[in-house]
Amino acid sequence: MEKEDEPKPESAQDKERPSRRAEILEQARTLFLDKGYAGTSMSALAKACGIQKASLYHHFPSKEALFIACVTEGYDVAILALQEIQDDRALTHEERVRRALAEIYRITIDSPVGRMSPLIAEVSRQIPEVARAFHDGFIIQQHEIVNAIIDAGIEDGAFARQDRLGMEHLIFGPIVTLSISRQMFTGLETIETLFPVAQVRDSHCDLILQLLRKQPESDSAA
Amino acid sequence: MEKEDEPKPESAQDKERPSRRAEILEQARTLFLDKGYAGTSMSALAKACGIQKASLYHHFPSKEALFIACVTEGYDVAILALQEIQDDRALTHEERVRRALAEIYRITIDSPVGRMSPLIAEVSRQIPEVARAFHDGFIIQQHEIVNAIIDAGIEDGAFARQDRLGMEHLIFGPIVTLSISRQMFTGLETIETLFPVAQVRDSHCDLILQLLRKQPESDSAA
DNA sequence: GTCTATATTTCGATAGAC
DNA sequence: GTCTATCGAAATATAGAC
C-alpha cells in the first residue's frame, strides 16, 4: 500500500502502473462485492479511495466501464495455480484431485474472483458481456482442468468412469454454494456449524474420491 | 414485527382477495429477483403494478418493509411438499430420496423462493433479519427433512452411513449452484450444455445413491 | 385507496480552474 | 490528475385532494 511518494509517471509506458487505477479497482471490488452493483455509488467509491468523485472519471469513462474492468480482470492468476497442479507429474491421481479441490476452495471462498457469482447474477441482464467474460475466462477454464485431471486418472486405470456432467456439478456445486452461503449468512451464529470451510472441504473430497474409486453400478468387483 | 395495516378481511371477501397487497408483492418479487434490491425502484414497481408510486406507500410503509415482506413470506408452501414426501410410507428409501431431490430441484430452480440466494446475499449486511428468516424458515427446514430421510434409510439398513455434513453439501450444493448459474448465464448459448436441469438432476441423484448404497471406505463387504 | 404534486436527497456524469 | 462546483435525472418518501 503506497502513499504518495511514487507518483512519478516516469517515461515508462502504461506497462507497470500499480498506482491509482489499481487502487480504485481494488476498492471497487470490495464495495461491489459487499453492496452489489446498483448499491455501490461512485461517491461511496471515491470516499473509500480518499479522492473526489470527479477524479474517478479521469481513470474510467463510466461506472459501467469501471465495473467491467473490475470483474473482467484477474482470472488468469486464479487459473494459473490450478494449471500447475494439473501439470505436476510428481503427484498421484488422488493427490492431484485433493490438491485441485483445495485450490478451488481457496479461490472460490477467499479470493474476490471466486465470490463474484451473486454480483454477476445481479448485472447479467444489464451487462451481458460480464457474464460472458466470467463464463469463458473462469468457469470454463476451471471445469476443463478438473475434467482433464479426472480423465488422466481414468486412462491410467486409477479412477472409474462416472458421468462427466454429474461429476462436474458434484465437484463445483458444493464449493460455489458454500461460498455464497457464507456471504449470505455472515453474522449468523450457526454459520460455522453449517458452513465450516475446512470440514466441508475434506468431507467433500473424501466423497468425490469414493465415487472416482468405485466401479459405477457394479459392486461385484474383485 | 407488527402486521401490516390491512383493510379488515370481513367474512364478505374471504373467497376472492387477490387484491392489491398480494399483487404488489408478486410484482416486487419478480423485479427484485431480476434487478436486485438497489436496482429496483419504487417507480418501476408502481409501473409494473399499473398504479401510482404514492399508492405503494399506502400498503407498505417503506421500500425496506416491502422487501422484507417479499422475501419472508412463502416458505411454508415450499417446505410442505417436501414433508409429504418424507411422510409417504408407500415409498422405498431410494424412491423417497429421488422424489425429495426432484422436489428440491423444482423449488430451487423454478420457484421465486428458491432463486432468492443472490438477492439475500446482496442485502444480508443491510437487512440481517432477511438472512435470518431465509435461513431459519427455508434452509434449515430443507436440511432437516433430507437428513431425516437419509437417517431413516440408515436405520433400516438400506443406506450406508456417510459423513452427514459432507452429504448435505453434496446434495444441496449442486442444486443451489445450478439455480444461480442459470440466472447468471441466461442468454449464453452454452447454458443448456453446461447447466441442463433434467440431466444434471438425474445424474446427481444417481451419484448420491451410489454413495448411500456404498459401504464407505470398505469395499470388502459381504 | 388512488391520485397529482412536490419535497428532499442522491445518483451518474461534466465543466473548467489549477 | 485532482480539485470545486454544478447539472439533469431519478431516488425515497410525504402532503393533501377526491
In this predicted structure, the answer to whether residue A147 has a pLDDT above a threshold of 90 is yes
Q: Look at residue A214 in the predicted model and tell me its pLDDT.
A: 72
Q: Which nucleotide is nearest to B61 (CA to C1')?
A: D13
Mean pLDDT of the A162-176 span: 98
At the topology level, CATH places domain B74-215 in Tetracycline Repressor; domain 2 (1.10.357)
- What are the residues with a C-beta under 7 Å from any atom of nucleic chain D? A 7, 9, 20, 50-55, 58-59; B 40-44, 53-54, 57, 61-64
Whether the Cβ atoms of residue A108 and residue A176 lie closer than 8 Å to each other = yes
Distance of alpha carbon A92 from alpha carbon A94, whole angstroms: 5
Asked if strand C comes closer than 7 Å to B53 Cβ, the answer is yes
Q: How confident is the model at residue A18 (pLDDT cuts 50, 70, 90)?
A: low
Distance of alpha carbon B23 from alpha carbon B7, whole angstroms: 15
Global pTM reads: 0.92
In this predicted structure, the answer to whether residue A218 has a pLDDT above a threshold of 90 is no
- Tens of pLDDT, residues A25-35: 999 999 999 99
Whether the Cβ atoms of residue B176 and residue A118 lie closer than 8 Å to each other = no
Asked if strand C comes closer than 7 Å to B12 Cβ, the answer is no
Mean pLDDT of the A79-83 span: 97
Neighbours of B42 (CB within 10 A): 16
Q: What values do phi and psi take at A192, rounded to 5?
A: -80, -10
- Interface A–B counts its CB contacts (< 8 A) at 183
**B67 shares contact with chain A (CB less than 8 Å):** no
Tell which residue, A171, A29, A30, A155, has the closest CA to residue A103. A171
Whether the Cβ atoms of residue A135 and residue B185 lie closer than 8 Å to each other = yes
Whether the Cβ atoms of residue B203 and residue B100 lie closer than 8 Å to each other = no
Distance of alpha carbon A36 from alpha carbon A9, whole angstroms: 33
Q: How far is B7 from chain A, CA to nearest CA, in Å?
A: 34
Alpha-helical segments (H) within B91-222 = 93-110, 117-123, 128-134, 140-155, 164-184, 191-194, 197-213
Distance of alpha carbon A203 from alpha carbon B165, whole angstroms: 7
Tell which residue, B174, B43, B158, has the closest CA to residue B105. B174
**Beta-carbon-side half-sphere exposure of residue A85 (alpha carbons within 13 Å):** 23
In this predicted structure, the answer to whether residue A189 has a pLDDT above a threshold of 70 is yes
Report CA Rg, chain B: 21
Whether the Cβ atoms of residue A165 and residue B192 lie closer than 8 Å to each other = no
**B43 shares contact with chain A (CB less than 8 Å):** no
What is the residue extent of each domain of chain B?
Answer: 12-71, 74-215
- Site of grid cell 470440514: A199
Q: Look at residue B31 in the predicted model and tell me its pLDDT.
A: 98
Residues in chain B within 8 Å Cβ distance of A122: 35-36, 39, 118, 122
DSSP A117-155: HHHHHHHTTT-HHHHHHHIIIIIHHHHHHHHHHHHHHHH
- Site of grid cell 430443507: B142
Specify the CATH number of the domain B12-71.
1.10.10.60
Would you call A169 and B188 a contact, using CB atoms and an 8 Å cutoff? Answer: no
Distance of alpha carbon B113 from alpha carbon A200, whole angstroms: 25
Q: Look at residue B8 in the predicted model and tell me its pLDDT.
A: 43
B19's CB contacts (< 8 A; 6+ apart) are none
**Beta-carbon-side half-sphere exposure of residue A102 (alpha carbons within 13 Å):** 12
Distance of alpha carbon B112 from alpha carbon A195, whole angstroms: 24
pLDDT in tens, chain B (222 residues): 444 444 444 433 444 556 899 999 999 999 999 999 999 999 999 999 999 999 999 999 999 999 999 999 989 999 999 999 999 999 999 999 999 999 999 999 999 999 999 999 999 999 999 999 999 999 999 999 999 999 999 999 999 999 999 999 999 999 999 999 999 999 899 999 999 999 999 999 999 999 999 775 544 443
Q: What values do phi and psi take at A66, rounded to 5?
A: -60, -45
Distance of alpha carbon B77 from alpha carbon A142, whole angstroms: 37
- Site of grid cell 373467497: B15
Q: How far is A165 from chain B, CA to nearest CA, in Å?
A: 7
